[in-house]
Amino acid sequence: MPWTTTDVMSWRAMLLAASMFLVTLALFGGLAHHFGIVAMWMPLVNSVALIATTPKASSARPWPILAGHAATALVGSMAGWLFGASVLVAIIAATIGLLLMMLFRAVHPPAAATGLVFTLHPVPPHLAVPLLMLGAAAVALVGVGLRRWTVRTVEPSS
């Protein structure tokens, strides 16, 4: 069944991906704990997993990571802050965030969770959004590095 498998990764690529995942999670976990916004860490964990396992995917590129998280963070934090934390508000905010990602050609599936988290754990947007975007920028940079390393070491030269 072809739909049950993913691309084959070399042992070196797996080790690098797992190492980058571990280091990035430890860094984000420490920052999220320090600032008291642990829930914000969850969407970034999904982003790191995406870029670690599929660094060449279109959704693992910098624009979708940055714009996707920005759109959903803004919508989610504003919705949670203005209307309160509720499942209905979170569903509407996440849907609007997804529509914005599609509109701006910045589809990054892990960012869909950002809208939910920011709505259900309302934090003033002036604090939460910049911190999340700092994390998203770090994820994008890790993705660029992994993509370059993967292209140089895994693919045969032409």
pLDDT in tens, 56-95: 899 999 999 999 999 999 999 889 888 999 999 999 999 9
pLDDT digits (tens, 9 = 90+) for 96-105: 999 999 999 9
Looking at residue 32, its pLDDT comes to: 72
What residue ranges do the domains of the chain occupy? 10-148
The gap from C-alpha 136 to its chain's centroid, in whole angstroms, comes to 6
The mean of the pLDDT values for the chain is 83
The residue-averaged pLDDT of 43-63 equals 89
Q: What is the pTM of this model?
A: 0.81
Q: Who's near 131: CB < 8 A, 6+ residues apart? A: 31, 35, 37, 40
